[in-house]
Amino acid sequence: MPKPVVAIVGRPNVGKSTLFNRLVGERVAIVEEKPGVTRDRLEKDVEWSGRVFTLVDTGGLDFQETDEISGKTRRQVELAIREADVLLFLVDARAGLTPADEEIAQMLRRSEKPVLLVANKVEKFAGEHYDFFRLGLGEPIPVSAALGLNTGDLLDQILQALPVREEEACPEELIRVAVVGRPNVGKSSLVNKILGFERVIVSAQPGTTRDAIDTLFEHAGRRFLLVDTAGIRRKSKIDEATERYSVMRAFKAIDNCDVSLVMLDALEGVTEQDKRIAGYVHEKGKASILTVNKWDLLKKDERAADRYREKVDQELPFLSYAPVAFISALTGRGIRQLLQLVADVWGEFNRAIPTGSLNALLADLQLRNPPPSQKGKRLKIFYGTQVQSRPPSFALFVNDPELLHFSYLRYLENQLRLAWGFTGTPLRFFFRRRRG
């Protein structure tokens, strides 16, 4: 079967050929500052992370020009769109949104192909390029084709959007799990119990684990990358350079994971350091499971688990979306259920809500509970769209973001969770003023 095809589309002189050359790794397409240099389709294979796809450079789309060359260029672009599996819609971040961009966006939406909106000529990544949200194609991916900035991340997102061909079908995506917590709560014991052998050194002495140790394994048909990390102590308690670097690597493991198992000691309850670690996981937007270890050592009755959950919710209110798992790393109690919970939470972390369904809910929520008004002016939510997953993030276009009250934001989040779950994953909201 043929390789998947990715086509670069955009108006003239936004840098399509420069991006094409950058992604293929050689100067194949002619690049000049004047528009209209590229007319025919140019194709070249690109290999990234073990996958190969065909990249297609196209001529600039100009709906105002009516000469013969422009017409033939348009037809070539239309053919490229028809044959592509994924479309890269390139816009110029310096020039901002133009009427031509809006016309092309309409054309690409009609194609019903996956579209990645790419904002080129971005040398500083502080801006968020809000104008391009109006195209309704999600959050733009900022790159500088000329300097090669962020093109690796763009290639990663291309691979996520590509269909998997039969001949390259691979096991399910890897679920990256970081086991984090303060020293001596049983992180290494949990890893060893999951793996079924002593993969990492276990000792009652805090600080035994120095590095973030990665281990691949499979369970119930799913592939996991399990990362055991060093215990994270307060900065004031760290007096060795080695431990300082170990803690830095533990935080890096959180940065790179999908799901964090935040380990708590059932006998000690939630400590201030537990709160700091859980807060870091939340701030980084990672899915999380509060994993209560040594549950077998606690004297309990039939309501002990419910009472413990209530206490954890009081101590960690910002993680109210995180499920609580009760385990014993020593005996193996609850480990199988924990792994199933990891897979479930990972699925919620990746959940994507159709734009139509989201806007139907938003309209209903405003009818049932209108936003509060301030000084005679009421917040209006015109429409919303999910701009990314991992974690699920939503852009809501409103009349004035200053009118939003935190209580109404909490209401919106709670209702989205009631409608679609999102167990174990934080939600992110971005409020944009609708221009015009």
Section 176-202 average pLDDT: 78
What are 203-217's pLDDT values in tens digits?
444 444 434 457 777
In which band, very low, low, confident or very high, does the pLDDT at 224 lie, cut at 50, 70 and 90?
Answer: confident
Section 124-137 average pLDDT: 74
- Ordered by where they begin, the domains of the chain are 5-168 (3.40.50.300), 175-349 (3.40.50.300), 355-433 (3.30.300.20)
Which residue's structure tokens are 């104008």? 131
Q: pTM of the full predicted structure?
A: 0.59
pLDDT of residue 27: 55
pLDDT of residue 229: 78
| CB atoms closer than 10 angstroms to residue 132 | 23
CA distance 48 to 51: 5
Residue 238 has pLDDT above 70, yes or no: no
**Quick one: DSSP state of residue 318?**
G
Residue 34 has pLDDT above 70, yes or no: no
pLDDT of residue 91: 94
Give the side-chain half-sphere CA count within 13 A for 303.
3
What residues are paired with 291 via a beta bridge? 263, 325
Residue 375 has pLDDT above 60, yes or no: yes
CA distance 181 to 184: 8
pLDDT of residue 76: 82
pLDDT of residue 66: 63
CA distance 232 to 246: 8
Of the candidates 373, 417, 410, the residue with the CA atom closest to the CA atom of residue 391: 417
What integer best gives the mean pLDDT of the chain?
A: 83
In which band, very low, low, confident or very high, does the pLDDT at 132 lie, cut at 50, 70 and 90?
Answer: confident
Section 136-160 average pLDDT: 88
What are 299-341's pLDDT values in tens digits?
878 889 999 999 999 999 999 999 999 999 999 999 999 999 9
pLDDT of residue 359: 94
Section 153-157 average pLDDT: 89
Residue 274 has pLDDT above 50, yes or no: yes
Round to the nearest angstrom and report the end-to-end CA distance of the chain. Answer: 48
pLDDT of residue 88: 95
In which band, very low, low, confident or very high, does the pLDDT at 179 lie, cut at 50, 70 and 90?
Answer: very high
Section 1-21 average pLDDT: 88
In which band, very low, low, confident or very high, does the pLDDT at 218 lie, cut at 50, 70 and 90?
Answer: confident
Query: Is beta strand 141-142 parallel, antiparallel or unpaired with respect to 222-228?
Result: unpaired
Which residue's structure tokens are 């002189």? 13
Report percent pLDDT > 90 for the chain.
46
